[in-house]
Structure 1
């Protein structure tokens, strides 16, 4: 009878864990539409055009009195949004670990970002400052929400499940991005049939991403459970925000291999995030491609990224997550080199690049997230994932800044895009030097059979 009780308990726990996992996937489904439709496709070219309409005769706008090339404004705003996230993320991580109440934080950050994104409907004329402000709020909010979201992974998946669960989350996100992009493509290309201008159709696409984000956030808020944790020396109410982050970093000195992984991830992910946010600007401004071509290209990325995330998850089971990520970094480098030599006005070449990006994008990010979850000491999930998210989004301001500065100094988006190769090359070397099995043991976690 005792054995039956144990089996029933284990079965119930597994069922509850799967229920939470399914709810967890839906936050990727909710917020990834912002990353795809807003940050990757529409906002870069549209905000650049709005800034150009407000520019002086020399092509400069003057936010806060500073001379900025209109073509660099979007990249600088992305960098600024990440600086704001850096300030707020430690507050979210400390608060999430203190008492274990993560859902209210997830709700606040998600709905603030969704509201800012919905407000992009009012971005028209020469309101480039409004566009910059809304971008900063939305992009910072998605970064903060991901601190809380990612910190659930070690709690809802066993060590052997995490590669698969993380990959499925990314796959859900890319599937949602593809679905909404199809609707965006229909509206944008047939805007006359719907009785709206091209500009209005873009603003509808931007705002709809915010509505989608807010609506589907309800699913994880219903499915995920808060886990109350007793106060400890590291999570007492007197220790907040940056003090908590400083304590986390000091504690990580006892986990130098975890820090080594974070450094490697910081570098190569900066390159990934910059490619995601600046690809549409490169395609429209340097290659002279139409908005419809860019939408189809990103749609191609989304569709392939679903299979890519799941496929790289299977590769990780066969060859290990570390080797699979290293292979993806080589693919990223080759893709950027090819982008530099693409002739202008040739959509076919851009489509080929989209295929390459789609096959490695989701997997490289999903496997990095699951890999880091093995390096987190038990009980410090949100605290460590706050540091991880600062590496993921919070420190990813260097790439956009380098991209914007390179264009500002050279006037060439080709020079700007090739400068990003450094992030993948350096990240490859740093990751290759991390002994992951020892890092997992040092964190006090069981080492999976293949890592």
Structure 2
């Protein structure tokens, strides 16, 4: 009877874990439409047009009395949101670990972001300041929410399941992004048939992403559960947990110095992920300026990347089960290098080859990001999940200016976007070297976590 009771308890625990994991997947499903439809496709051109409507005769707007070119307002707003997120994430991460109450913080961040995105429906005429404010709120909230969401991974999945669970989360996100983008593109391209102006169609697309985000966020908020906070002696000095953002981030990095192998992985991730983010952000510039491709081709390529990233994330997750996450990530970085080399030789004016390039990006994009997240989760000391994932998210978002800087400088010096795109190979080569030097099995043990059989 005792054995049967134990078996029942184990089965119940496994069922609860699967239910929580399914809820966790749905946050990626909920928020990824913001990144795809809002940031990647619609908001940049539309907010720029609103700022241009408000500009003076010289093409400047004047937020807080500061002269800003209308064409730069969107980029500056994104940069401001990154700065705010870098200040806020360490504070929220430390508070989450200190109290053990991640779910209320996740809910607050999710609904601030979803609400700000839904309110973009009111972005019309010359309301560029409203657009900038909503963008900063939404982008900051998304960063904070993703940090909290990622920090759940080591709590909801045992070590041997994390690669697969992380990959499924990314796949859910890319699937949702593709689904909503298809619906948005139908509305946008056929807006006359629906009796809508182009501006109204864009505003509906923006607001629908917020409604989708807020609606599906209910699923993880119902299924995820809070864990008891660790004892005060395990959390470090209380003054660090309530420090201002940059001081808290510095405290986290000081704590990481006690786990230098974890810090070594984070450095490798910072380098190669900067390359990934730069390819994502500059691919459309390369396609339009160097390859003379139209907007419809570029949007179609974005959609293709979203669809194939689902299969890529799941496929690389399966490879990780056989070869380990580290080897699979290294293989994906080699594939990224090959994609960039192929991109250098793409002929201009031939969309089919750009779609081939987009296919390659899609197949390695989701998997390299998902496996990086799951591998890092093994390297986080127990009880410091949110705090360490705040540093992870800061390295993702706060340091993503190095790649664009190299891309811009290379183009400035050579006048060639082909040279600019091939220069990004440096991030993948250096990132691979740094990652290869991290003994991940020892790093996991040093962090106080069980070492999986395959890693």
TM-score (structure 2 length as normaliser): 0.90
Unaligned runs of 5+ in 1: none
In structure 2, do the counterparts of structure 1 residues 356 and 205 end up closer, same or farther at CA, with 3 Å as the change threshold? same
Asked if 1:185 corresponds to 2:189, the answer is no
Q: Deviations over 1:128-176 (max 9, x none)?
A: 4443333222122111101111111111100001000000101111111
Query: Partners in 2 of 1:66 and 1:336 — Cα distance?
Result: 39
Shift of 1:53: 5.6
Q: Deviations over 1:62-93 (max 9, x none)?
A: 66666766655544433332121100000110
Which deviates more from structure 2 when the two are superposed, residues 160-169 or residues 55-64? Answer: 55-64
What is the alpha-carbon root mean square deviation over aligned residues?
Answer: 2.8
Q: Report what 2:226 is aligned to.
A: 226
TM-score (norm 1): 0.90
1:57-136 equivalences in 2 (<5 Å):
73-136=73-136
Q: How far apart, CA to CA, are the structure 2 residues paired with 1:286 and 1:63?
A: 34
CA distance in 1, matches of 2:326, 2:284: 30
Q: Is contact 1:308–1:363 with CA below 8 Å preserved after alignment?
A: yes
Q: Given the alignment, which residue of 253, 260, 263 partners 1:256?
A: 260
* Residue 436 of structure 1 pairs with residue 440 of structure 2: yes
Distance in 2 (CA, whole Å) between partners of 1:69 and 1:411 is 24
User: How far apart are the structure 2 equivalents of 1:59 and 1:440?
Assistant: 54
Distance 1:304 1:445, change over 3 A: same
Contact 2:47 2:128 (C-alpha < 8 Å) held by counterparts: yes
Is contact 1:191–1:198 with CA below 8 Å preserved after alignment? Answer: yes
**Paired residue for 1:310?**
314
Change beyond 3 A, Cα 1:58–1:275: farther
SS class of match (2:452):
coil
SS of match in other structure, 1:225: coil
Aligned to 1:165: 165
Q: Are 1:332 and 2:336 matched, yes or no?
A: yes
Aligned residue in 2 for 1:206: 206
Contact 1:54 1:126 in 2 (8 A): yes
Q: How many residues align?
A: 451
Per-residue CA deviation, residues 367-418 of structure 1 (Å, 9 max, x unaligned), is 0000001101122211211111112223334445555677789987666655
In structure 2, the CA distance between the partners of 1:146 and 1:100, relative to structure 1 (3 Å rule), is: same
Per-residue CA deviations over 1:162-218 (Å, capped at 9, x if unaligned) read 000000101111111111111012112211111112232222212211111111000
Which residue of structure 2 aligns with residue 293 of structure 1? 297
Task: Output the CA distance in 1 between the equivalents of 2:85 and 2:178.
Answer: 27
Give unpaired runs (5+ residues) of structure 2. none
Residue 7 of structure 1: CA displacement?
0.9
Distance between the aligned counterparts of 1:71 and 1:345, measured in 2?
A: 27
